[in-house]
Amino acid sequence: MIPILDLTAQYRALKSEIDAAIARVLESGTFIMGPNVEAFEHEIAAYVGVKHAIGLNSGTDALHLALRALDVGPGDEVITTPFTFVATTEAIGIVGATPVFVDIDPVTYNIDAAQIESAITPRTKVILPVHLYGCPAAMPAIMAIARRHGLVVVEDCAQAIGAKVGGRTVGTIGTIGCFSFFPSKNLGAYGDGGMVTTNDVALADRLRALRVHGGRRKYHHEELGVNSRLDEVQAAILRVKLPHLDAWNEARRRIAVRYTESLTKVAGITVPAEPSDCHAVYHQYTVRLAARDEVRERLHKAGVQTMVYYPVPLHLQEVHRTSGQAGAFPHAERAAREVLSLPMFPELTAENQDTVVRELSAAVQVGATA
Ligand SMILES: Cc1ncc(COP(=O)(O)O)c(C=O)c1O
């Protein structure tokens, strides 16, 4: 089976360095929020290009604590996309605010900036774009809307570390950027991990307190916080990996170009389009197909693993049943029926990629002549 993702390839390539980094942590006896976490925070701040980066337990916590730090709570509305992983809206719900969905741009699968203004109400506090599949949302337009209406922008960068839009790195454009180091991400830990980035010193200070039970001094607690600490083993692993991230992202881009060159010629397949002002990092390479589920089944039988991110848009999930009826966000609903993500990881070989292209072309053609 050609896997959609192979996490062992990176480990094999960096094994001696990673093993040594883990051993050093074990020998140091410092396991939580020690020198590796602090150094990794500085390294991510420098990599992304912000003043402050705060290590957390997950991308979900990054989103939820970002909203907490901005005092978003009951009665507030947060505008976001219905076509994302549930963590985005879960974070909104955790702070007691209400997600307000805006349909996606059917080309980029990201929130359609042109429809945001009509969703703004006096209760709107935040716009929360997601850079889905590693392709940045339309940040210049979103920031202009936020400025016009006095709104804050929080970026969900979980799938897009290193991506750029309008010459700027994601996570530096809104007030807070939220990152995930879940193992499958472009920069993945060997467990959970997350990070927030900001240039705002007061927000950084509050986020640092929120992640350790709402206190700035041990056993002194100013507000309700959480336990969302990044651990030393994960930070040490991520520090070994970070210097390779740009090369890995470039490898993903090369694989994407190769897929697009071949698949663009196949009738019935829509390849992803990268907006001209964007530098996407292809967390996923996602095509669109009419008979998606049948094609997926044929590919599975042919030994090619694929995934559907995501089969049910969030407004149709039970948890968000009050946020929109079927038909409310037609582009998101259609995408949920048609998208298919293909094997994508920096170490994917040209030979395996050619097999994916061949089997996908065949699977689509069977459908067309059936
Ligand atoms: C778009 C998006 N937002 C948020 C998250 C949550 O990150 P985590 O799994 O680290 O909590 C993820 C990934 O899982 C994601 O893909």
CATH no. for residue 301? 3.90.1150.10
Asked whether residue 2 is domain-assigned, the answer is: no
Which residue's C-alpha comes closest to atom 7 of ligand 1?
59
Shared-domain flag, residues 261 and 234? no
Contact, 130 vs 108, CB < 8 A?
no
Hunting for tokens 């955790």 — which residue is that?
A: 94
Instruction: Report pLDDT for 277.
Output: 95
Return the pLDDT at 369.
Answer: 65
Q: At what angle do helices 292-301 and 350-369 cross, to 10 degrees?
A: 130
Residue whose entry in the numeric block shows the structure tokens 């992640």: 211
Give the helix/strand (H/E) hosting 284: none
Whether residue 353 sits in one domain with residue 266: yes
The total of other beta-carbon atoms located within 10 Å of residue 6's CB is 16
Same domain membership, residue 205 and residue 144: yes
**Atom 13 of ligand 1 has which residue's CA nearest to it?**
158
| Centre of ligand 1 from the C-alpha of residue 279, in Å | 20
Give the chain's residues under pLDDT 50: none
Pair (192, 319) in one structural domain = no
- Look-up: residue for tokens 């879940």? 182
Shared domain for 254 and 238, answered yes or no, is no
Show the domain range for 360: 245-369
Question: Is the domain of 36 the same as that of 136?
Answer: yes
C-alpha to C-alpha distance for 22 and 235, rounded to whole angstroms:
10
Mutational pocket test of ligand 1: of 60, 161, 176, 234, the residue with most ligand atoms within 8 Å of the beta carbon: 60
DSSP codes of every residue in 206-229? HHHHHTBTT-SBTTB-SS---B-P
Q: Same domain, yes or no, for 291 and 321? A: yes
CA of 219 to the centre of ligand 1 (A): 31
Final residue belonging to a domain, choices 216, 243, 270: 243
Asked if 194 and 288 sit in the same domain, the reply is no
Q: What is the CATH number of the domain that holds 78?
A: 3.40.640.10
Edge to edge, the sheet with strand 168-169 lists: 168-169, 164-165, 278-279
Domain boundary among 191, 226, 243: 243
8 Å CB contact between 195 and 62: yes
CA distances from 319 to 44, 103, 314 (A): 34, 18, 8
Residue 268 within a domain: yes
Q: Are 8 and 18 in contact (CB under 8 A)?
A: no
CA distances from 198 to 176, 217, 364 (A): 5, 22, 45
Do 208 and 280 reside in the same domain of the chain?
A: no
How many CB atoms sit inside 10 A of residue 213's CB?
18
Asked whether the CA dihedral 39, 41, 43, 46 is positive or negative, the reply is negative
Q: How far is the C-alpha of 262 from the C-alpha of 359, rounded, in Å?
A: 12
Bridge-based pairing state of the strands 152-156 and 124-128: parallel
Number of domains in the chain: 2
Question: Rounded distance, CA 68 to CA 208, Å?
Answer: 12
Tell whether ligand 1 has an atom less than 6 A from the beta carbon of residue 169.
Answer: no
Q: Which ranges in the chain belong to alpha helices (H)?
A: 7-28, 35-48, 59-69, 87-94, 139-149, 201-210, 232-241, 245-263, 292-301, 330-338, 350-369
Cβ(228) to ligand 1 under 6 A? Answer: no
Q: How many helices (H) and strands (E) does the chain have?
A: 11, 13
Q: Is 130 in the pocket of ligand 1 (CB under 6 A)?
A: yes
> Of 243, 275, 302, which residue is a domain's last?
243
Q: Based on the fold, state whether residues 345 and 287 are members of the same structural domain.
A: yes
- Does some domain include residue 220? yes
Q: Do 98 and 180 sit in the same domain of this protein?
A: yes
Statement to judge: residues 116 and 190 lie in one domain: yes
User: Is residue 335 in some structural domain?
Assistant: yes
Which class for 227: exposed (0-12), middle (13-18), buried (19 or more C-beta within 10 A)?
exposed
**Tally of residues, the chain:** 370
Would residue 1 count as lying in a domain? no
